[in-house]
Structure 1
Amino acid sequence: MDPIVSTDALAAFCERAAKFEYVTVDTEFLRETTYWPRLCLIQVATDEEAVLIDPLAPDIRLAPFFALLANPDVTKVFHAARQDIEIFVKLTGAVPANIYDTQVAASVCGFGDSASYDSLVRAICNVEIDKSSRFTDWSARPLTEKQSTYALADVTWLRDIYRELRQQVESTKRGDWVEDELTVLRSIDTYVVQPEQAWQRLKMKFNRPRDLAALKVLARWREQKAQDTDQPRSRVLKDDVLQELATQRPLTPDAFEKLRAVPRGYGRSSAAGEIIALLKEVDALPKSALPAMPERYRGPSPKGAVGDLLRVLLKAVAEQHGVAARIIATSDEIDALVLDDEADVPALKGWRRKLFGEKALSLKHGKIGLVATRKGILEIAVNPAQAAE
């Protein structure tokens, strides 16, 4: 299968594809040494044909394909869409219109959380995919026949998976479940990382406001540097280095040499000079300008018995409805429910609240209990007088 390497051929295919209700889409890219993914191949299929598009070809412009992505009348079907869409957001500045993610659909149809494409091909199409070309240099040209066959399989079997899952979603009346999940994928904020918000991605806890202030400016600096130089964040500074810099705040080149996580000699680099300047600004901040620390909660631990009880309920509800537990509520959301009856979490909104959230609050406050039976965990009403004892 020869890939499309000219704009005219691509435009002709996209014109044909625009007549169909949906197309399946996948990409191959490289990202090991860059911040931004480097697009190496695009795979697209309609009900009648499947093609490879070579974005590295010297005589091709991808405008016709971008127009197809923006066409609201054609559903763009992906599997595990986030990284593919991130590429197109970078290239076009917009999220493709009318997207559908079969991994999301699979999770609400009982195939488990984050079902792989291979597992769905096996379960739905009864086919075993050859995985030997998964780790390959997709920038090398020409593509081998084995590479082409592997790449096309990512969109050809996806057609059957999409049709089957769409039917299952409709028959179980869970379309709103899927739509709720797709809302996140359809938001451009999902793919555009603002340097000022980079600190929020880091799972670090501090007890002192000035440490948190330092983390915010350091994370912003690293994110901007990674974007500007197109290299992974970890190549600019690893997470553990950020944490040590935020707490120790070295203000001279020599002070860097006393840090365990920082490479020897780093304090003399131009990057260290920029960091020192930022940390001096943090040290000069008055207390009134420091970020507020979250109030320390005094009550049941979210990792204690109450949280465990809610997790048992979650597992029971997930098994009862044949859906991945993580789609209903994450572990962090369970923690939030223990701490706050009005937590701003998906588990207390929409279909999730009806399915689980209301039961979780009732269980938390002793209005229902759980019993183990041969049929599994069941909820039972609790006498209000007994609950108060």
Structure 2
Amino acid sequence: MQVITSTRALEAFCKDAAGYDFVTVDTEFLRETTYWPKLCLIQAATPDRAVIIDPLADGIDLAPFAELLANSLVTKVFHAARQDIEIFVKLFGAVPHPIFDTQIAASVCGHGDSVSYDNLVRAVVGTQIDKSSRFTDWAARPLSEKQLTYALADVTHLRDIYAQLRDEIKKTRRSSWVEDEMAVLESLSTYIVEPADAWKRLKLKVSKPRDLAAMQAIAAWREQRAQNNDQPRSRVLKDDAIYELAQQRPTSPEAFDKLRAVPRGFGKSSAGSDLIAVIKEVEARDKSQLPVVPQRPRGPSPKGAIGDLLRVLLKAVADRNGVATRIIANSEDIDAIVLDDDADVPALKGWRRKLFGEKALAIKHGRLALAATRKGIVEIEIEAD
């Protein structure tokens, strides 16, 4: 087992890896007490070699690995890639390219929805991974042999999984399906949260323009403070507190103490002082400067019969095509389709629209019916009067 702790050794590995058409990659990191993930290990494997890279080693420069991630001739294979890629975007300012995510590919190939790496290894390789080291302290040094063995397994088995899924995708001619998903992973915007857009992560629990303006401003303030201080969002301010502050809009330290979701004494802190300034700015805005509260589309309830029928259709389509339901559409997509024929959801775009979206709209407008048979659910076209 090779543990790379020097730039020279890393350069040698990356030069060797650049001669292959793929490299499997995984990371170990800590994030419980920070906004940004703290990278503790990088695992990488070519078809005939696997290494562990120690980013915490004294004097090591990760630039050679950044070059490997950017090499367009080498596919970077991950499992559940989003958090790993977020780390590399933070470190190197760019998204690895090209990417292959085995969790997404497994969903497309019918191995289940958001299948775990452990289950995929068991199904494809026939091996049971020892998970006892999963929640150890990866920042502590030295690392035990058991930790290193566990970490390395995350990329060695991934080689076999990648080979099988790549063959399955080719046989089923679903390359375009996977490419659509990988395009999202390869977009830089997927990993960068602008403070001004932070409110979009919250549920819209306000109905007045000034309340919405306050929610937007407070969420932006929290995001910026969390990033600047490298703190989890919840340690700066919990979501429930944002909703309450947006509606109550306290402008004095004493007023904060009357709120249930805000810690006592918060209004007298430096954070409270900053937040009072943010709220006062919102209060001072002219009505013409306030955002428009999105109106809910009028139509049948997403929780009614049409929504139920679309969920039955989704299950039938997924089963028929041997693909996980969530890779086609999720519950929010279905709700949106019930409310709006032109909803901006993945289920009404590309291959998903052909597979499911068009049929969903046809059912919604009475042009298609579902029937239960011994062979399962079938669709029946309804002739127009």
With normalisation by structure 1, the TM-score equals 0.98
How do 1:234-249 residues align onto structure 2 when only pairs under 5 Å count?
Answer: 234-249=234-249
- Matched residue, 1:324: 324
- Matched residue, 1:80: 80
Structure 1 counterpart SS, 2:41: strand
The 8 Å contact of residues 75 and 98 in structure 2, kept in 1 or not, is answered as yes
Structure 1 counterpart SS, 2:338: helix
- Matched residue, 1:45: 45
Deviations 1:21-53 (A, max 9, x none): 100000000111111111000000011110000
How do 1:349-360 residues align onto structure 2 when only pairs under 5 Å count?
Answer: 349-360=349-360
Structure 2 counterpart SS, 1:94: coil
Deviations 1:225-256 (A, max 9, x none): 00000010011001111111111111111101
- Matched residue, 1:126: 126
Structure 2 counterpart SS, 1:271: helix
Shift of 1:124: 0.4
Runs of 4 or more consecutive aligned structure 1 residues displaced over 4 Å after TM superposition: none
Counterpart code for 1:141: R
Structure 2 counterpart SS, 1:242: helix
Q: Distance in 1 between matches of 2:378 and 2:81?
A: 36
Structure 1 counterpart SS, 2:4: coil
Shift of 1:16: 0.7
- Matched residue, 2:157: 157
Alignment RMSD (CA, Å): 0.9
Deviations 1:358-377 (A, max 9, x none): 11111111111000111111
- Does residue 208 (structure 1) correspond to residue 208 (structure 2)? The answer is yes
Shift of 1:201: 0.7
Structure 2 counterpart SS, 1:380: strand
Structure 2 counterpart SS, 1:55: coil
- Matched residue, 1:10: 10
Counterpart code for 1:156: T
Q: Distance in 2 between matches of 1:2 and 1:51?
A: 5
- Matched residue, 1:299: 299
Shift of 1:140: 0.8
Q: Distance in 2 between matches of 1:64 and 1:296?
A: 50
How do 1:105-254 residues align onto structure 2 when only pairs under 5 Å count?
Answer: 105-254=105-254
Deviations 1:93-112 (A, max 9, x none): 00011111000100000011
With normalisation by structure 2, the TM-score equals 0.99
Shift of 1:339: 1.3
- Matched residue, 1:263: 263
Structure 2 counterpart SS, 1:147: helix
Q: Distance in 1 between matches of 2:147 and 2:176?
A: 37
The 8 Å contact of residues 20 and 74 in structure 2, kept in 1 or not, is answered as yes
Deviations 1:344-367 (A, max 9, x none): 221111111110011111111111
Shift of 1:184: 0.6
Shift of 1:2: 4.3
Shift of 1:296: 3.6
The 8 Å contact of residues 23 and 75 in structure 2, kept in 1 or not, is answered as yes
Structure 1 counterpart SS, 2:264: coil
Counterpart code for 1:145: E
Structure 2 counterpart SS, 1:384: coil
Shift of 1:302: 1.3
Deviations 1:325-355 (A, max 9, x none): 1111111111111111122221111111110
- Does residue 95 (structure 1) correspond to residue 95 (structure 2)? The answer is yes
Q: Distance in 2 between matches of 1:236 and 1:341?
A: 40
Counterpart code for 1:78: F
Counterpart code for 1:251: T
Deviations 1:294-314 (A, max 9, x none): 224332111211111111111
Structure 1 counterpart SS, 2:3: coil
Unaligned runs of 5+ residues in structure 1 are none
Shift of 1:207: 1.1
Counterpart code for 2:173: K
The number of residue pairs the alignment matches comes to 385
Q: Distance in 1 between matches of 2:290 and 2:54?
A: 50
Shift of 1:113: 1.2
Shift of 1:126: 0.5
Deviations 1:58-85 (A, max 9, x none): 0211111111111100000000000000
Q: Distance in 2 between matches of 1:342 and 1:226?
A: 36
Structure 1 counterpart SS, 2:259: coil
Q: Distance in 2 between matches of 1:345 and 1:259?
A: 37
Q: Distance in 2 between matches of 1:323 and 1:220?
A: 38
Counterpart code for 1:54: D
Q: Distance in 1 between matches of 2:72 and 2:383?
A: 53
Q: Distance in 2 between matches of 1:373 and 1:243?
A: 49
The 8 Å contact of residues 205 and 243 in structure 2, kept in 1 or not, is answered as no
Counterpart code for 1:85: I
Q: Distance in 1 between matches of 2:292 and 2:223?
A: 23
How do 1:345-384 residues align onto structure 2 when only pairs under 5 Å count?
Answer: 345-384=345-384
Structure 1 counterpart SS, 2:51: strand
Deviates more, 1:217-226 or 1:284-293: 284-293
Shift of 1:274: 0.9
